[in-house]
Amino acid sequence: MARRKRASMREGPLADLFRSTSDEPSQDPPEFEPRSADDTGGPQGDPVEPEAAAAVPEPSTGVHTESDAASRADALTGPDPEAAGRFGRQDPIEARGQQQEEPRAEDEGPLSAPDPAADTSGLPDAQDRLKRIFSESPPDPRDDGPRYGRQEPASGPGAGVPHTPVIRVIGVGGGGVNAINRMIEAQIPGVEFMAVNTDLQSLQLCMADLTVHIGGDETRGLGAGADPSLGFRAAFDEQDRIKRLLKGSDMVFIAAGSGGGTGTGAAPVIARLARDLGALTVGIVTKPFTFEGSRRQKQAEQGIEALAGEVDTLIVIPNDRLLEVLDQSTPMVDAFQVADDVLRQGVQGISDLVTLPSVINLDFADVRSIMSDAGRALLGIGMGSGPDRALIAAEKATSSPLLETPMDGARSILLSVTGGPDLSLIEVSEAARAVGEAAHPDANIIFGANIDDDLDDQVWITVVATRFDAKGAPARRIEREGRSDRSEREPRTRRDESLPSVGGGDIPEFLS
């Protein structure tokens, strides 16, 4: 089966880092060729004109003209011995008797000649019937087999037309724009990209399908200057335009680097707009490196807390964790590229499950069941090669240095397994078992398996763990369980009021 070209999981800085540390084509049925009059044994010559057949009726001998017989071709069951060499016919009385329980009185007598005055204008003539019969495709014998795995045609408007989920990735701020540039370079299939920033120069260099410049009056295209309140106001002023652009989305990823101005302040605004439109909203953000300063760290924590109240699922990638796997001689530019690639791997690991045909398939409803109203989540990525490659990849994903806390206690797991054409069912089973052992004993694990022709001896595993128990629950979930006065922070809550009502029309406290 032909597969769409996809972005290979083995490409990019993160893949390099992992390496350094470790249908037959179906046969068409033969073309159906209508038989000529010579093949059927019928008389040769020109066919009788329909007007002549209607104007000159045959006497009531029970024998009909060839034109009359052809007009009944769709009700014939076999040749008549008395009319050899012609189209087989069935006695009209018997044909009517099969459709009626009691014969009518006029049918019990001898056959009478057709009424020349009968109105036959609404009936197709013999030539039209023959053309229709011979133009129909012959039945496919493959349709007679068992219908396992086949979907019966549904009734109703739009039946038989599957809905393709609309997935959009919104890069917010400088870090988010850099991240989606990396995703576009990787050619993630089935995803639309949109960039939102106050920095006009950053948008001019962006490769996204759509770019939105916000805060032009206040920033004059020069960025938010690491001021989250400015980023918030810029997004709030453009909320109507952003909402129109997000309309029709089924799933929205908000990619941003927290701690700055636009990514920290504008991301919660955009997330709420997407959620109010009914989209499954997933935030995937990075925490700044320690060397970026304590002020940026504090702003990042406050921004992440605000974003957590506006998304269904929030995945946080601590950049400091990359220092544990990066070599000391790694240039700073390369370190930031690895951080961007982690965001790309997280988005691709989830979106590929929905957009690509899989050996073990998932649909959008499966992803929604795991990630809707899930709160804080953990993202683990692992790669393995060699005889135990799947097991190695699973162990690396569940004990990834990117995880701030252990994965045990997670009650919902989204598992993506990607391997080459030689990926076996045993390997997928081993990987799923290893991930299940690292989560809660009663965890709901939904997984899919993709085949990447570019992966020769590698298996990549992406794990998204959500719905932690009390031991590993993020602060927002504990507050929701223990306090009712935080209901305004509940995800998926429909608000009739407009965005400013969060702070009574003012900028949120943490942004002031």
3-state secondary structure labels for all residues of 436-484: HHHCCCCCEEEEEEEECCCCCCEEEEEEEEEEECCCCCCHHHHHHHHCC
Q: What phi and psi values does residue 347 have, to the nearest 5 degrees? A: -65, -45
For the stretch 147-167, pLDDT in tens is 444 455 555 555 556 678 999
Whether the model pTM is above 0.75 = no
Flag whether pLDDT at 89 surpasses 50.
no
Q: What is the structure's pLDDT at 167?
A: 95
Domains and CATH numbers, the chain: 10-18+164-356 (3.40.50.1440), 378-491 (3.30.1330.20)
Stretch 463-470: mean pLDDT, rounded? 83
Q: What is the structure's pLDDT at 161?
A: 61
Flag whether pLDDT at 485 surpasses 60.
no
Q: Are strands 410-419 and 458-468 parallel, antiparallel or unpaired?
A: antiparallel
Q: What is the structure's pLDDT at 319?
A: 87
For CA atoms 418, 419, 423, 426, the dihedral sign is negative
Flag whether pLDDT at 97 surpasses 50.
no
What the block records as the tokens of 401 is: 């240095």
406 exposed, middle or buried (CB, 10 Å; 0-12, 13-18, 19+)?
Answer: middle
Q: What is the structure's pLDDT at 473?
A: 47
Flag whether pLDDT at 506 surpasses 70.
no
Stretch 101-113: mean pLDDT, rounded? 50
Return the SS3 of 280. strand
Q: What is the structure's pLDDT at 75?
A: 45
Mean pLDDT (the chain, rounded): 74
Name the pLDDT band for 105 (thresholds 50, 70, 90): very low
Residue 495 or residue 403, greater confidence: 403
Stretch 216-239: mean pLDDT, rounded? 89
Are the CB atoms for 345 and 9 separated by under 8 Å? yes
Burial 13-46, CB ≥16 within 10 A → b, else e: bbbebbeeeeeeeeeeeeeeeeeeeeeeebeeee
Flag whether pLDDT at 137 surpasses 70.
no
Residue 402 or residue 19, greater confidence: 402
Pick the range with the lowest mean pLDDT from 12-16, 78-82, 340-344, 387-391: 78-82
Q: What is the structure's pLDDT at 327?
A: 83
Residue 21 or residue 289, greater confidence: 289
Flag whether pLDDT at 460 surpasses 70.
yes
Return the SS3 of 296. helix
CA distance 399 to 94: 79
Q: What is the structure's pLDDT at 275?
A: 95
